[in-house]
Amino acid sequence: MMHRTQKRTYKTMVTCFALLSLCPVANAQWNTLGSDIYNTNSGNVGIGTVLPISKFQVTDGDINLESTNPMSVYTPSVVFSTQSNTGNQAVGSVWGRTSFNGDKWIELGTSPNNALMSIENNGNVGIGVAAPSAKLHIDGVTGAAFKVTETGNPFPWFCVDSRKVGINVAVTSWTQTTLMLSGVTGTTYLDIVNGATTGFGSQIRFIDPFTMQPRHAIVDDLSSNMMIIYPNMGGCSEVMTIKGKLLLGSPVTPTPAGYTLYATEGILTEKVKVAVQTTADWSDFVFDKSYKLPTLRDVETFIDNNQHLPGVPSADEVVCEGIDLGKMDAKLLQKVEELTLYVLQLQKQNEEQQKVIEGLVVWSKK
């Protein structure tokens, strides 16, 4: 009967013979050329799996690319290449970098000297820039730095190019424009222009999409330190239309209701023209034969009771409601015409009284 130690020795010998018997088979898979080792196997290679589904598959493990040179800022890289008549041509690489102060990041590009994208260990991502200073840092050296397009639409949804931003417009047509927006192709554009340091500064312009010329503009006039609105720049029939209320000055309370323009501190103008819609809104009706002129006694009674003329708003009403220039002018004209009629009546009375006086004088001399 075999001793326990002899059994263990026997098993070890059997295992060694089995491994040795496999070595020729394993070695037959690999060839050496100088310090290189290669495999002509046309199948897949698996580590951690017996059924690899790609040329090289690692299951439940890591691939570690490590540099043994502590002075090197580049770690070994993964190179993507293609074969041609002149040999292998690298088309792209992924490599890690470390700086002497300990910073680490990953770069993608055609070579370590031509990084196109970088991902830093602080989470910053750079495209076209080696040291991104934001979570997404894009540097467009030439051409558009950022663009969102739609298949079949020649106008990009969003584009950043040469310090210009465009939404649904072609950047190639820009000149001094900093921002240009458009709803759909053929509609009016809106752009923002960086102006000069003197004269016209920044401008908001409404652009005709067919002529690419401004139709209207809001301009920062640096020479006068004022904002100027330029309507009708493109020969439009309307000058400017504002729908709703326009408040000028601060603070402005839009009361009383029913008006579109409210202003504080007054309006200075060389000319005011008030439109009258119909002849009934004017006061010529006072001279109509059917007009009933109030007696002066009635006017006196009204003034005694109300402290203002009949038909004319009181001071309290004016403070509360304001004055309608057209209606007030018509009302004042009505009072002037009534005064004219009163004067004519007095003149007739004076003439009649004068005749009576003259008759009495003649009679007294007889």
Q: How far apart are CA 7 and CA 15, in angstroms?
A: 12
Q: Which domain does 164 fall in, by range?
A: 157-240
Residues 303 and 361 in one domain: yes
- Tokens 């070994």 belong to residue: 76
Q: How far apart are CA 46 and CA 37, in angstroms?
A: 17
Residues 287 and 227 in one domain: no
Q: How far apart are CA 254 and CA 260, in angstroms?
A: 9
> What per-residue confidence (pLDDT) applies to 24?
45
DSSP, collapsed to helix, strand or coil, labels residue 80 as: strand
Q: How far apart are CA 67 and CA 150, in angstroms?
A: 44
Q: Which of 215, 240, 265 is the C-terminal boundary of a domain?
A: 240
Would 320 be classed as within a structural domain?
yes
Would 89 be classed as within a structural domain?
no
Would 138 be classed as within a structural domain?
no
Structure tokens belonging to residue 3: 């001793």
pLDDT tens digits, one per residue of 121-171 = 888 998 888 788 889 888 776 666 677 777 766 666 677 766 677 777 665
Would 290 be classed as within a structural domain?
yes
Whether 208 contacts 234, CB under 8 Å: yes
pLDDT band at residue 187 under the 50/70/90 scheme: low
pLDDT band at residue 225 under the 50/70/90 scheme: confident
Burial class (CB in 10 A: 0-12, 13-18, 19+), 130: middle
Structure tokens belonging to residue 263: 């202003």
Whether 212 contacts 202, CB under 8 Å: no
Residues 174 and 226 in one domain: yes
Counting the structural domains of the chain, the total is 2
Structure tokens belonging to residue 166: 């465009």
Before 231, cis peptide (omega within 30)? Answer: no
pLDDT at 254 over 60: yes
Would 283 be classed as within a structural domain?
yes
- pTM metric for this prediction: 0.44
CB atoms within 10 A of CB 168: 19
Q: Which of 240, 269, 302 is the C-terminal boundary of a domain?
A: 240
Structure tokens belonging to residue 163: 């310090």
Would 47 be classed as within a structural domain?
no
Please give the average per-residue pLDDT across 62-69, as a whole number: 80
pLDDT band at residue 352 under the 50/70/90 scheme: very high
From the list 29, 276, 171, 286, the residue with the least C-alpha distance to 189 is 171
Region of 307 (left: φ > 0; alpha: ψ -120 to 50; beta: rest) is left
Residues 286 and 354 in one domain: yes
The residue among 290 and 159 whose pLDDT is bigger is 290
- β-bridge mates for residue 191, sequence order: 180, 205
Question: Concatenated DSSP letters for 23-74?
Answer: HHHHHTT-EEETTEEE----S-EEES-SS--SSEEE-SS------S-TT-SB
User: How many Cα atoms sit within 13 Å of 237 on the Cβ side?
Assistant: 0
DSSP, collapsed to helix, strand or coil, labels residue 199 as: coil
Would 30 be classed as within a structural domain?
no
Residues 293 and 217 in one domain: no
Would 92 be classed as within a structural domain?
no
Q: Which of 190, 217, 240 is the C-terminal boundary of a domain?
A: 240
